[in-house]
Amino acid sequence: MISPPNSPGSGRPSFADLLELVPDATVGVDTSGAIVLCNAHAADVFGYSAEELLGSPIEVLVAEASAERHAGLRAGFAAEPRNRSMGNHEPLSARRRDGSEFPVEVSLSWVEQEGIVLAAVRDVSDRVDGELLARRLRDELEQSRKLEGLGHLAGGVAHDFNNLLAVILNFSTLAADVVVPGTQLADDIGEIRRAAERGRVLTRKLLIVGGRDTGQPDRLDLAAMLTSLRPLLLSATGAGIELRLELAATRSLHADLAQMEQVVVNLVVNARDAMPRGGTLTIRTEDADLPAYDGVPGAAERLPAGRYVALTVADGGTGMTPDVLGAALDPFFTTKPAGQGSGLGLSTVYRIVRELGGLLSIDSEFGAGTSVVMLLPAYAKVPPADASAAA
């Protein structure tokens, strides 16, 4: 870090000191395009030492493909300097010392006294593409009313059905206690109990789909959950499928553990069923920042800008035709033979993600594979509801 000439005298922070307080990686560039100023954050982000950066042309920090164009733009800027931002409309990439490139937004400020341009560079790798998101949301808002209606109906039936199953389970347990073990009658009663247990698993899904079971959300570390779930997932997928866990340490979630496990298990079972001849199944976690966007009515309330975690389950299986993809989230939609699928897997996942305030989106190409991406709101110290109640 060097100070520009004419730093203010003692008692006041210098220009250089102030630059260290800027949260972005910041460099100062003179009219010839040489870096004459940088903060420690800039050296860090780009992988250089401050000494190496100072005196280098700014183009060393620009993505290779646009370095030449950048030099031209810089000359234009020097002829008519003004404050402006770059990268929030057209994508812009920066380059680290090791040659790797990353998406950035840059704000330019002209410091007339010094004859330099200050460029504040922000890494926006975590930021989700707003356009794509808006399209997903539009699809979802269209579909959600249908799903809510069906789900409500399913939830109502499930509630009554659950009570019936409780009676069947109770009385078959009582009966099992009084019959002689090992007899035909004991075996028959055992069958009744097992069928009722399966019915319970099914009704639990229906209750979730109907929004009647939202679980008990608590602070949850997704990567830790997936690591402890791994043995179960491996036994579900079997030998022919390679299970790849790409788990970045992410922000925490605010979610019910059993329900999040169910989300993952349902998606993994679907992926397995789509790869009868084996293949690779990838589960990935990463932080994601949502930009503010407009143009979709209701979008800002439905999915506010801010901090999220992205969970992806991707397979190289059969994929879905557009027709199947269009119906995949509907409760009871299944392409599996009778008795093998209830068609509640994806609608359960959808409902759980939705209750968390997240977004589910499915990309699938027939013959190539399927990728399910979920954006889940990160755990906040003060839940938004409390914050607004306090205001």
Ligand X SMILES: Nc1ncnc2c1ncn2[C@@H]1O[C@H](COP(=O)(O)OP(=O)(O)OP(=O)(O)O)[C@@H](O)[C@H]1O
Of 335, 361, 378, 380, the one binding ligand X (CB under 6 A) is: 335
Asked if residue 318 binds ligand X (CB under 6 A), the reply is yes
Residue with smaller CB distance to ligand X, 151 or 345: 345
Asked if residue 317 binds ligand X (CB under 6 A), the reply is yes
* Size of interface with ligand X, in residues (CB under 6 A): 23
Q: Do residues 355 and 284 touch, judged by C-beta distance below 8 A? A: no
What minimum distance in Å lies between the beta carbon of 349 and ligand X? 8
Residue with smaller CB distance to ligand X, 184 or 340: 340
119: left (phi over 0), alpha (psi -120 to 50) or beta: beta
Asked if residue 328 binds ligand X (CB under 6 A), the reply is yes
What minimum distance in Å lies between the beta carbon of 336 and ligand X? 4
Length reported for the chain: 391
Query: 210 vs 100, 278, 296, CA distance in Å?
Result: 47, 34, 26
Query: Position of tokens 């035709």?
Result: 321
295: left (phi over 0), alpha (psi -120 to 50) or beta: left
Asked if residue 146 binds ligand X (CB under 6 A), the reply is no
Residues 256-275 that bind Mg ion (CB under 5 A): 270
For residues 106 and 258, give the distance between their C-alpha atoms in angstroms, rounded to a whole number.
43
For residues 116 and 108, give the distance between their C-alpha atoms in angstroms, rounded to a whole number.
10
| Residue nearest ligand X, CB atom distance | 345
Selection from Mg ion, ligand X, none that 237 binds (CB < 5 to 8 A by kind) is none
What minimum distance in Å lies between the beta carbon of 350 and ligand X? 9
**Other Cβ atoms within 10 Å of 64 Cβ, number:** 11
Asked if residue 315 binds ligand X (CB under 6 A), the reply is yes
230, containing H or E segment: helix 222-237
Residue 191, helix vs strand vs coil: helix
- Work out the end-to-end distance of the chain between its first and last CA atoms, rounded to an integer number of angstroms: 43
Residue with smaller CB distance to Mg ion, 45 or 267: 267
Q: Do residues 265 and 221 touch, judged by C-beta distance below 8 A? A: no
- Give me the sign of the Cα torsion angle 232, 233, 239, 244: negative
Question: Per 3-state DSSP, what percentage of the chain is helix, strand, and coil (rounded to 5)?
Answer: 45, 25, 30
Selection from Mg ion, ligand X, none that 140 binds (CB < 5 to 8 A by kind) is none
Of 27, 288, 344, 352, the one binding ligand X (CB under 6 A) is: 344
Residues 255-284 that bind ligand X (CB under 6 A): 266, 270-271, 274
What minimum distance in Å lies between the beta carbon of 275 and ligand X? 8
Selection from Mg ion, ligand X, none that 316 binds (CB < 5 to 8 A by kind) is none
Asked if residue 345 binds ligand X (CB under 6 A), the reply is yes
What minimum distance in Å lies between the beta carbon of 260 and ligand X? 16
For residues 44 and 50, give the distance between their C-alpha atoms in angstroms, rounded to a whole number.
9
Residue with smaller CB distance to Mg ion, 155 or 345: 345
What minimum distance in Å lies between the beta carbon of 141 and ligand X? 20
Greatest alpha-carbon span in the chain? 99
Of 333, 355, 357, 365, the one binding ligand X (CB under 6 A) is: 333
Asked if residue 345 binds Mg ion (CB under 5 A), the reply is yes
Residue with smaller CB distance to ligand X, 57 or 343: 343
Residue with smaller CB distance to ligand X, 196 or 344: 344
Q: Kindly list the residues in this chain that would bind Mg ion in the complex (CB under 5 A).
A: 270, 345
- Residues lying near ligand X in the complex (CB under 6 A): 266, 270-271, 274, 315, 317-320, 324, 328, 333-336, 341-347, 370
